[in-house]
Amino acid sequence: KRSLPMLPDERRRIFIEKYGVSEQNADVLVSDKALADFYEKCLEHYSKAQELSSLIVGDFLAQLHSLNISIRDVKVSPSQIAKLLKLLDSKVLTGLSAKAVLREMLITGEDPEVVIQRRGLQRISDREMLAGLVDQVFTMNPKAVEDALVNEKAIHFLVGQIMRMTQGKADPSLVRELVEDRLGKLKSNRSG
């Protein structure tokens, strides 16, 4: 006697209990058998089940919807999705760049590395280059710099300007560190 396919409720329970997927993500995944199948195939190549489910339920489904592609017609393989997540984990990509790469992958069926190379989407982690941009942003936004010296939240604006200049490719934590260092030097120069 052949085994019956797993029922959505049973699959949902496994996603939550065995893989640690959030209830919300599990509900979306089991709402479409083809989507749940695709997710499980991706899991064979990438073990972080919650991160994977967040990508599939979030950006992946949103891109499919905006491109009007059915899950059954996806050109991208589960191993390609896993590669994209590994590139994000290893900080080759920023979250913003990963969205652009995913969209391109869904359109072309290409590997993430090919898209990254062609579109120049590698994360920028060059300290000197980013420090130069920090200098530029500080010069161009003296009022924001004054605000940031007294209000920690104003730092977001300065970081955002650099992220905009690099089209989201700069390493955001490094940019924040450089902005905070520069503000710290300004503070100590004023108090010293």
Every domain of the chain and the residues it spans: 8-119, 127-191
The residue type of 19 is Y
The answer to whether residue 1 scores a pLDDT higher than 60 is no
**pLDDT, tens only, 53-74:** 999 999 999 999 999 999 999 9
Pick the CATH number of 127-191 from 1.10.760.10, 3.40.640.10, 1.10.357.10, 1.10.10.410: 1.10.10.410
Mean pLDDT to the nearest integer, 169-183: 93
As a whole number of angstroms, the distance between CA 91 and CA 172 comes to 11
The answer to whether residue 191 scores a pLDDT higher than 80 is no
As a whole number of angstroms, the distance between CA 98 and CA 51 comes to 13
The answer to whether residue 175 scores a pLDDT higher than 60 is yes
> Distance between terminal CA atoms of the chain?
83
**pLDDT, tens only, 86-121:** 999 988 888 888 999 999 999 999 999 999 988 888
